């Protein structure tokens, strides 16, 4: 599994700590501190997305992609994956464009949905 997050690496690593042995790679935004200034660092910043998820996806050869998003910056990813879990701003955008998605409230909903997807893939 590869995780691509527009969030900060430090926060993502902390949240994903129990699963890190199952994660091949984690792509996220790095945050550095220089004196009293924070700097956001991303090798995939295209000027519109701090971490352009579709550029990272292009690095991998995969058969099936699942996306999870809640923001307008997830819209390109949502169109590029096989199944997308969406809420908030992303869900509203996908509703307007007629793009199918799986609504979710929290990560428990996503985990149940992924289990169902994996069963369908068998």
What is the CATH number for 83? 3.40.50.1000
Domain end call among 62, 77, 97 = 62
Considering the domain architecture, whether residues 96 and 108 belong to the same structural domain is answered as: yes
In the predicted model, is pLDDT for residue 3 greater than 90?
Answer: yes
**Residue 61: per-residue pLDDT:** 95
Considering the domain architecture, whether residues 20 and 49 belong to the same structural domain is answered as: yes
Considering the domain architecture, whether residues 90 and 110 belong to the same structural domain is answered as: yes
**Residue 58: per-residue pLDDT:** 97
CA atoms within 13 A on the CB side of 76: 15
Considering the domain architecture, whether residues 34 and 88 belong to the same structural domain is answered as: no
In the predicted model, is pLDDT for residue 99 greater than 90?
Answer: yes
Average pLDDT for residues 61-74, to the nearest whole number?
93
Considering the domain architecture, whether residues 58 and 1 belong to the same structural domain is answered as: yes
Considering the domain architecture, whether residues 22 and 70 belong to the same structural domain is answered as: no
Average pLDDT for residues 21-39, to the nearest whole number?
94
φ/ψ bin of 7: left (φ > 0), alpha (ψ from -120 to 50), beta (otherwise)? beta
Q: What one-character-per-residue DSSP string does 28-80 give?
A: EEEEEEETTEEEEE-TT--SS-SS-HHHHHTTS--S--EEEE-SGGGHHHHHH
Domain end call among 62, 78, 102 = 62
Percentage of the chain surpassing pLDDT 70? 100
Domain end call among 47, 62, 77 = 62
Residue 119 vs residue 122, higher pLDDT: 119
- Domains in the chain, number: 2
Mean residue pLDDT of the chain comes to: 94
The strand pairing partners of 8, in sequence order, are 29
In the predicted model, is pLDDT for residue 48 greater than 90?
Answer: no
Average pLDDT for residues 10-15, to the nearest whole number?
93
**Residue 107: per-residue pLDDT:** 86
**Residue 60: per-residue pLDDT:** 97
Give the structural domain span for 73: 65-122
């Amino acid at each position: 599994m590869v995780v691509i997050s527009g969030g900060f690496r430090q926060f993502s690593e902390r949240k994903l700590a129990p699963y890190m042995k199952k994660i091949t790679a984690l792509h996220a935004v790095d945050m550095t501190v220089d004196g009293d200034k924070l700097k956001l660092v991303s090798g995939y910043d295209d000027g519109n997305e701090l971490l352009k998820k579709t550029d990272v996806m292009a690095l991998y050869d995969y058969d099936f992609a699942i996306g999870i998003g809640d923001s307008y910056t997830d819209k390109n990813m949502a169109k590029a994956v096989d199944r997308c879990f969406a809420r908030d701003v992303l869900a509203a955008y996908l509703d307007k464009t007629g793009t199918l998605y799986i609504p979710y409230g929290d990560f428990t909903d996503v985990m149940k949905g992924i289990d169902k997807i994996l069963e369908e893939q068998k």
